[in-house]
Amino acid sequence: MGFANNIGKYQLGRTIGEGTFAKVKLALDSTNGKYVAIKILDKHMVMETNLMNQVQREIRTMKLLNHSNIVRIHEVIGTKTKIYIAMEYVSGGQLSDKLLYSKTLSEGEARKLFQQLIDAVDYCHNKGVYHRDLKPENLLLTSNGDLKISDFGLSALRKPGDLLSTKCGSPSYVAPELLANKGYDGAAADVWSCGVILFELLAGHLPFDDSSLMNLYKKISRAEYRFPHWFTESQKKLISGIFDPNPKRRLTIPEIIENEWFQKDYIPTCGNDSDEKIYLDDVNAAFDSIEENVKETKIPKSSSFINAFQLIAMSNDLDLSGLFEEQYNNKQKIRLGSQHTINETMRKIEAAAMDVSLSVARTNNFKIKMHAKQGMTRCCRSYIDMSAEVIEVAPAHCVVEISRSAGELGPYNEFCKSLTSQLTEELGDSSQMQESEVHHIESKSIQESEGSEKTKSTRIDDHRGYSSS
């Protein structure tokens, strides 16, 4: 099959997947002759895109899990410039690919996959691991049609009963409680996603779907969906119990397992934790020198760049439009969109500050502190202490976060109005400022460039189903 390079005991072969941050190659373990999948990450890219913690979390979490329905990581190898993750090779591709050409599955096949999914998720929860991004793209199939969960990049490790706060996941699969500004139970959120997957397996389409993200959220929050006419009463009863908007009333995994429809032809699968010792030394070694290596090669690191996950996390809900509108519930901070390069955006911030008689001082390449100019009396200018930070989303698209740590609201609003005018003066009248308040700047190009990535890690364009975080 054309093995050309070696890394450790693995002979690297052809590329079976490639994404923005990683490449996946088929490899042969020379010690036992078995195939593995090797995910290759560039250390510099991991650092530049602030993904080190996410990658480490995914690797360590998957090393803790040893279940027949979860993709296994064998070992991690680090070189000066690369990180090699040797993992189980799953040849059947993604469940999402199967749904594309099969549309609906037979009741028996759907039930088998759902049983394996629930067993694997139950095992994760018993280990204190909550996946938080369960969807067909993250479910792989073996050559025998068995299911395996992959991509734990958004997972959380918590004690049972502890609430989570980070909002993440894919819109159509996210639980309603994640749309509120409150803590949520990771187990209940995963159960909801499992219910969406079961519905999709049986119906051939999503239960909650809409071209408008906000309308989609409303449907999810109210659990507005319709069963296809071919659904049986037992299927409806199970799915209705899962789709309870109140997580405290939602069916739990033990209750799902006891369900009559679920129990048919059920063969439980368990974890294999008895004798195997877990080693994390290779993970630590692979990442220990990552920062030093980046410094040695003197590659400029843009601390202003963010990925889709961080972009979503900045919003008050999963809707990216929240980034570009004033946060009326909190007058201390707003975010504006800029369709200019990062340097041009910085110049416009400085110009806006001068326009309202504020002095500026750059604290780093992408952050500016502002306060009233010395010599101005309190009667003509209120005291103000504020800052503006620019975050690069794309080469010609930025997010400007304006924060007021002290002082009155008047100067703060004046600066926001001036900056909005600076940012929009060359872009036409698509976003207008009213006299009394700061309105949001529509940044369609930002949404288009990030829209397909806003709730998931970069997906490798290959039918093998390996994600590149």
Q: Tell me the pLDDT tens digit for each residue of 259-297.
A: 999 999 999 987 776 555 565 666 666 666 554 444 433
Task: Name the pairing type of β-strands 82-88 and 73-78.
Answer: antiparallel
| Cβ atoms of 333 and 404 closer than 8 Å | yes
C-beta of residue 17 within 8 angstroms of C-beta of residue 461: yes
Least confident segment among 9-18, 45-54, 76-85, 416-425: 45-54
Catalytic position from the list 97, 122, 133, 190: 133
With 0-12 CB in 10 A as exposed, 13-18 as middle and 19+ as buried, what is 298?
Answer: exposed
Taking residues 439-453, what's their average pLDDT?
38
Cβ neighbours of 405 (radius 10 Å): 11
CATH of domain 308-451: 3.30.310.80
Residues within the annotated binding site for ATP? Answer: 39
Q: Where in the chain is the domain with CATH 1.10.510.10?
A: 95-263
Closest by CA to 420, choosing from 408, 403, 402, 447, is: 402
The sign of the torsion formed by the CA atoms of 125, 128, 129, 132 equals: positive
Q: Which residue has the tokens 């490798």?
A: 460
Which helix (H) or strand (E) segment is 202 a member of? helix 186-203
Q: Which of 128-142, 166-180, 404-418, 431-445 has the lowest mean pLDDT?
A: 431-445
Q: Is 31 buried (19+), middle (13-18) or exposed (0-12) by CB count in 10 A? A: exposed
Under CATH, which number does the domain 95-263 receive? 1.10.510.10
Q: What percent of the chain has pLDDT over 70?
A: 72
Place 191 in a pLDDT band, splitting at 50, 70 and 90. Answer: very high
Mean pLDDT of the region 230-259: 97
pTM over 0.95: no
Over range 200-220, report the average pLDDT: 93
pLDDT of 441 over the 80 cut: no
Active site residue 133: yes
CATH number of 5-89+278-296: 3.30.200.20
Give pLDDT, residue 398. 83
Domain with CATH 3.30.200.20 in the chain: 5-89+278-296
Query: In whole angstroms, what is the distance from residue 1 CA to residue 14 CA?
Result: 8
CATH 3.30.310.80 boundaries in the chain:
308-451
